[in-house]
Structure 1
Amino acid sequence: MDVEKYLSRIGFAGPVAAPNLDVLRSVHISHLLSVPFEDLTQHSGGRVQLELPLLYNKVVNQRRGGFCYENNSLLSWLLSELGFQVTLLSGQVKNFITGCYGPPFDHLIVMVSLDGQRWLCDVGFGSSGFSAPLSLETSGPQVQGHRVYRIRKETGMYFLEWQKEENRGLDGEWTNIYKFTLESRCLEDFTEMCQYHQTSPHSIFFCKSLCTILKPNGRLAYIGHRLITTTFPTVEAEGRVETTIRELEDEEIPGVLAEKFGIVLKSPLIPKDEAITPSPVMY
């Protein structure tokens, strides 16, 4: 890995004198603002292979993005190179159709241990993901802009929850995003599920061609033939999340991906936005 080139790719300009919380937060946010969460490889004739040099070449040299197995594994490699103590974790995402969780290794997450504190890092989730690392040392609310998250522990399992695009305090309605344990994993453990998500009609990544990136004031997303712009309310002013949708023709999509996300594909994209088939296996 060329660490300086990776840091330049994510727009990180601060000094890295030593691994500390400020550096961790800055790298995490910079990554989300620079590297899209996307699954366009499998919709343009390719397959994602979980080998770090290949992922590095894709994200850093080709200036692409990836889904959790790619973005988070690369983040863990970068943080390790910067001197952080990093552990890969297995998550299970709650399915919004069935209300059940995905299987083990459904999601790859990163835990950083720093000065006796543990932090959850995730730059590979998408629209409901958090922007800065979350503390694993508290079950209380953790506010990020207009959103609020919490990590609840129950019988050895940790549950990441949020109040969607609101913050109504402790009495607000909490919605589960995913669950996980703190058992250490290795990248090879995720190989089977990485292939599953590229080939199964039960996976959003097989059913929809998508690309999304965090912006300083919101989020931009491409799905199928739609470009979705979401604007967040400012912390100072009361307001609601605003969303606009632009319908795209096939011939517009390559230009939109290049202009809005900085992505130029080597092979033609086949846009896809099919309904996800609920999995018969419930967790």
Structure 2
Amino acid sequence: MTSEGMDMEKYLSRIGFVAPVEPSVEALRSVHICHLLSVPFEDLTVHSGGRVHLDIPLLYDKIVNRRRGGFCFENNGLFSWLLVKLGFQVTLLSGQVKNQITSCYGPPFDHLILMVSIEGRRWLCDVGFGGAGFSLPLSLETSGPQEQGHRVYRLRKDMGMHFLEWQQEENRGADGDWREIYKFTLEPRCLEDFVEMCQYHQSSTSSIFFCKSLCTILKPGGRLTYIGHRLITTIFPTDGKGGETTTTTTRELKEDEIPGVLAEEFGIMLDSPLIPKDETIIPPPVMY
């Protein structure tokens, strides 16, 4: 597939953004949140007989024309194309996600993220990290706390490495612990650099994307997540001050219910039957 037919306006319509866009911080924030509220974070191609390939026209066809989602390489890869078309200065970065099982970081190119420069200021963008991701771009010009509703993030720098960390609502404040999410450098990358790790995540028993069929999307005031045979509804606190806590409810799904749930709740219609999967992730043998 070629780039012919790739229409920026159709992409903006896909994410519910129809106003004229000039490259500004306000526009970046708006396009970022619109993308997260419209395009799911999902790996269903892997579990319905397909394969993800990092070619921008293919990603455009999947996310815009077929109204699907994708994991980080897809969502952030295509989002970078949109931002460039809108006139933003975009740099692809390599992230290494902290493994919650081993407490070690993944290898380089484990995660694709974006740095956007506007009038000499740098912003971290990420529309491809699912439930732990931030909703609005984070400033790379400060190491101080950056509040986003019930969560607080910070970007700590140490020996040339940047660390994304967060505090959840029950742990907020000056004395609260910071939980590391991923680390990255500011070395420019290109989409082809991520091909090997993209294939790894589709075939490794140490990857969540191989072990679990999943789909999640941000909602106003919460998040909706499908995993295996479960549908999880998450409601965020409304006060943002730690006085309330996040609540979750889980609905068990029968296999024949899943296609309807994906269509009704996420707007996803698969080309081939889904094989639901929710297996234990095996710790990777190599630690970073």
Fold conserved (TM > 0.5)? yes
Indicate the residue corresponding to 2:234 in structure 1. 230
- Structure 1 counterpart of 2:96, which letter? Q
**What are the superposed Cα offsets for residues 68-115 of structure 1, whole Å, 9 maximum, x if unpaired?**
000001110000000000000000000000000000000000000001
Q: CA deviation at 1:168?
A: 1.7
Q: Which runs of 5+ in 1 are unaligned?
A: none
Name the CA distance, whole Å, in 2 between partners of 1:165 and 1:277. 29
Name the CA distance, whole Å, in 1 between partners of 2:135 and 2:239. 15
Tell me the secondary structure at the aligned position of residue 202 of structure 2: helix
Change in 2 beyond 3 A, CA 1:274/1:236: closer
Q: CA deviation at 1:171?
A: 1.8
Tell me the secondary structure at the aligned position of residue 123 of structure 2: strand
Q: Percent identity?
A: 77
Indicate the residue corresponding to 2:77 in structure 1. 73
Change in 2 beyond 3 A, CA 1:107/1:57: same
Contact 1:141 1:169 in 2 (8 A): no
Name the CA distance, whole Å, in 2 between partners of 1:93 and 1:257. 27
Contact 1:148 1:166 in 2 (8 A): no
Q: 1:243 aligns with which of 236, 245, 248?
A: 248
Contact 2:151 2:240 in 1 (8 A): no
Indicate the residue corresponding to 2:272 in structure 1. 267
Q: 1:254 aligns with which of 231, 253, 259?
A: 259
Indicate the residue corresponding to 2:3 in structure 1. none
Contact 1:88 1:111 in 2 (8 A): yes
Q: 2:132 aligns with which of 115, 128, 131?
A: 128
Q: CA deviation at 1:239?
A: 1.5
Aligned length: 282
CA RMSD between the two structures: 1.0
Q: Does 1:28 align with 2:32?
A: yes
Q: Map of 1:82-101 to 2, 5 A cutoff?
A: 82-101=86-105
Contact 2:149 2:240 in 1 (8 A): no
Q: CA deviation at 1:47?
A: 0.2
Change in 2 beyond 3 A, CA 1:253/1:173: same
Q: Which runs of 5+ in 2 are unaligned?
A: 1-5
Q: Map of 1:107-146 to 2, 5 A cutoff?
A: 107-146=111-150
> TM-score of the superposition, structure 2-length normalised?
0.96
**What are the superposed Cα offsets for residues 43-85 of structure 1, whole Å, 9 maximum, x if unpaired?**
0000000000000000000000000000001110000000000
Tell me the secondary structure at the aligned position of residue 170 of structure 1: coil
Change in 2 beyond 3 A, CA 1:14/1:235: farther
> TM-score of the superposition, structure 1-length normalised?
0.98
Name the CA distance, whole Å, in 2 between partners of 1:51 and 1:240. 41
Large movers: runs of 4+ above 2 Å:
164-167, 235-238
Tell me the secondary structure at the aligned position of residue 91 of structure 1: strand
Q: Does 1:57 align with 2:61?
A: yes
Deviation larger for 129-138 or 233-242: 233-242
Contact 2:150 2:168 in 1 (8 A): no
Q: CA deviation at 1:236?
A: 6.7
Name the CA distance, whole Å, in 2 between partners of 1:129 and 1:58. 22
